[in-house]
Structure 1
Amino acid sequence: MPETMKSWHQEAFGLDNLLLSERPIPSVGEGEILVRVRAASLNYRDRLVVDGQLLPVLPEMPFTPVSDFAGEVVEIGETVKRVRVGDRVAGNFWTEWLDGPAPLEMINHAASLGGPYQGALAEYVKIPASVAVRIPAGLSFEEASTLPVAALTAWHALAETNPARPGDIVLVQGTGGVSLFGLQFAKELGARVIATSRSSEKLDRIAALGAWKTINSIEAAPWDERAQELTNGAGVNHILEVIGGSNLTSSAIAVAPEGTISLIGFLESGNFSLSSVPLMLKRARIQGVSVGHRASFERMVRFVEERSIHPVIDEIFSFDEVPKAFRRLEQGAFGKIVVSLEGQSRDRRSS
């Protein structure tokens, strides 16, 4: 094994300060493993961290960003029993949340990969063995790299907390990673999916993936009225709320009695205000969802394998194209943006 690796890191916040250089390969201690990264995928959170936003306690510099990756174990520390050299793994985002109730550290983002802990935009990454999760056998490293945050968030919302049942109606917003995974999981759980987007072209594509109904949120504004029409006034059982802000008001109108709004994102705003009476009368709930624990990840992996689910990838960038990959993320991808450490860039939008 070489002594150094290529790694993206920053000495100051901002995408323009993200630099590619040679750095020492991390040494492995007790209970830790070293993973050769084969692919990483980008989340909206990663861009916020790169810009010095979101985290209440900023990571120490030099800092390597990005939480999601897939690779193979090349070294294990003493006492490690869960994985072996050669295993294909990803890392659970929350390093202290392995099962059950979430630990208090999560409130301050104090124990997450890719900020404040060092991230995966490097040829090798060191993680606690306890967070390693074997990736689905049928997925490439590029596909598997999309699972730790986007897929697990959708899975935890729809399969772990108040699970979707056959016949339920699930509404997903936009065509980002969480929403498209939500579509795929909901279908396999027996639910029907309504998808919203401001783009007719993207709605055509999401319909081809199996959405039951689609809503152009510009042409059908407010979209909640159209959702009520499509459900004959019954409303939507599960809503993956990734926009936030004033959009949450529409979700509160569209949700069915005893339905669930999973608050996941804040693309519009991190603040919201809405009338409490409709939610009270409907006995509906708003639940915050922040990815999931390792046990949930492992159950999701088995489900992905059993149902032969393949993530939707918008575009694959080579390792030296990381700034370009982040810019594509800002444009509004259809699915996930992936950085491959072993291949050329590929546009998947037409596939």
Structure 2
Amino acid sequence: MRNISICGHQFQLLVTPPDSVGKLSIEGIDIFCGLIHTGDITFDPNAPENALKVLIRKRAFSCNYRDKAFILKMAVKAPSDRFFTLGSEFVAEVVAVGQDVTQLQIGDRVIGNCCYPEPAAPELRPGIPTNSGSKEYQVFHQAQLLKIPPEMPDEVAAAFSIGGQTTYSMIRKLDLKPGANVLVTAAKSNTSLFAINVLKHLDVNIYATSTSLRFEPQLKDLGVNQLIQIDPTVSNWFNFDAIREICQKTGGFDGIIDPFFDLHIGKVIPLLAPNRGKYITCGLYDQYSHITERPFEYHGMLGRDLFAYTMMHNLQIIGNCLGTTEDLQRALRDYATGRLRVVIDSVFTGTQVKEFFERTYHDPDRFGKVIYRYESAL
């Protein structure tokens, strides 16, 4: 069984072919990563404990922003002679099923069901099914997996669960009206790219912010009406002429989708339309400064001022964590009918593990998800 892993700095001394380990730096911390082989797992389809479970073989996986904190923590705090698997999203093939499994069959291609806050089945925990999506073989309850349509290639499926489930949940909660003006922050982030691709099929006007205009043509091709370059150290975004002009023309944004509340919330709340504006967020940026010991600095309104402004202008702040099974099913249906596009940057395989992580977390030219694909089964 193959595993894409983060390795302790001494583990590389124990590696022999066909295992391989490479070294890179993330946030100034040395990271050892590699392709590690372990023994096969066993799965008895007739065992009572496996009655509702399935054995899957991963075909491809990807890492999200949340995985970056896991990588840094493993590199700094984990035992130096161990290795650790990671990965939030995957696509896999069902290779064995328990005797009571009815939702899946051998040969189905599946992705993880990250449903939250309700669990996929009463005996399960809600949320992302695994933090070890790179393990080639794993066992899951059938409810933690969803079959994907034949139109969906592995590269897209390996990047779909969290983005699809989260984005469809956020847009459902915003309940946007025809003609609404929507601002999407951090336009190049994976969540924002998902959101833009969903919004373009609604009768809304899409605006987006980024620290660079490098990908303006690509974002406009996805449906963005206007990309606005911002300076992240500026606390009052009305200082940007483009934003001020939009707000004066429209009366403010009806909805704001923000993947990083601790970067933007105090800067964007004043951009909402009074008495109807909704701000929704699904994540935070500062997930690893306590590991790197590099201080994180927030810019924008805080605490009392932020909530006083929200209250006085009858605005809504909505928190969102993942989404329901129905949200992910809706995303899959829209992909199958051509209504949802997923932006894939690049695909790596074999011993290209270092290159996979470098492209995922380092390369300023990355646009979309980076995928690692397992070569054909050994």
* Class of the TM-score when normalised by the shorter of the 2 chains: 0.7 to 0.9
Take 2:117 and 2:259, find their aligned partners in 1: how far apart are those partners? 25
| Alignment correspondent of 1:212 | 225
Matches within 5 A, 1:25-174: 25-28=40-43, 29-52=50-73, 63-94=84-115, 97-98=118-119, 112-115=128-131, 119-159=132-172, 161-174=173-186
**How many aligned positions are there?**
323
> Which residue number in structure 2 is paired with residue 288 of structure 1?
319
Q: Structure 2 length normalisation: TM-score?
A: 0.76
Deviation at 1:324, TM superposition (A): 2.4
C-alpha change, 1:95 and 1:240, in structure 2 (3 Å) is: closer
5+ unaligned residues in a row in structure 1: which ranges?
A: 54-60, 344-351
Supply the distance in 2 between the matched residues of 1:63 and 1:341 (Cα, whole angstroms): 18
Q: 1:192 is matched with which residue: 205, 208, 211? A: 205
**Relative to structure 1, is the Cα distance of residues 337 and 208 closer, same or farther in structure 2, using a 3 angstrom cutoff?**
same
Asked whether the 8 Å contact 2:260–2:284 carries over to 1, the reply is yes
Tell which structure's C-alpha radius of gyration is larger.
2
- Once residues 91 and 71 of structure 1 are traced to their aligned partners in structure 2, the CA distance between those partners, rounded to angstroms, is 9
Secondary structure at 1:154's aligned position in 2? helix
Distance 1:203 1:294, change over 3 A: same
CA offset digits 1:263-320 (Å, max 9, x no partner):
2232256978242122112221222212112222112211222234221012211142
| In structure 1, distance between residues paired with 2:212 and 2:179 | 27
Q: Which moved more, 1:211-220 or 1:197-206?
A: 211-220
Say yes or no: does 1:313 pair with 2:344.
yes
**Alpha-carbon shift at residue 158 of structure 1 (Å):** 0.6
- Tell me: CA distance 1:26–1:99, structure 2 relative to 1, closer, same or farther (3 Å): closer
Q: Does 1:265 align with 2:283?
A: yes
Structure 2: 5+ residue stretches without partners: 10-28, 44-49, 75-81, 287-295
Query: Structure 1 residue 229 and structure 2 residue 230: aligned?
Result: no
Going from structure 1 to structure 2, the CA distance change for 1:278 and 1:15 (only over 3 Å counts) comes to same
Partner of 1:349: none
* Cα offset, 1:157, TM superposition: 0.4
Show the counterpart of 1:325.
356
Residue 7 of structure 1 is aligned with which of 3, 14, 18? 3
Give the counterpart letter for 1:188 in structure 2. H
- What's the TM-score, normalizing by structure 1? 0.81
Aligned to 1:335: 368
Q: CA deviation at 1:75?
A: 1.0
Deviation per residue, 1:208-242 (Å, 9 max, x gap): 22201110113996545533421415211221212
Checking the alignment, whether the CA contact within 8 Å between 1:139 and 1:310 is kept in structure 2 is no
Task: Output the CA distance in 1 between the equivalents of 2:93 and 2:217.
Answer: 37
Report the secondary structure of 1:297's partner residue: helix
Q: CA deviation at 1:163?
A: 2.5
Distance in 1 of aligned mates of 2:58 and 2:221: 32
Q: Cα offset for 1:246?
A: 4.8
- 2: distance between equivalents of 1:201 and 1:240? 21
Could you tell me how far apart the structure 2 residues matched to 1:103 and 1:288 are? Answer: 26
Secondary structure of 2:135's match? coil
Aligned partners of 1:150 and 1:165: how far apart in 2?
Answer: 23
SS in 1 for 2:38: strand
Structure 1 match to 2:19: none
- How well do the aligned residues superpose, as a CA RMSD in angstroms? 3.1
- In structure 2, what is the equivalent of residue 20 of structure 1? 35
Separation of aligned partners in 2, 1:22 and 1:246:
40
Cα pair distance change 1:285/1:309, threshold 3 Å:
same
Query: What is the CA–CA distance in structure 2 between the aligned matches of 1:6 and 1:304, rounded to whole Å?
Result: 30
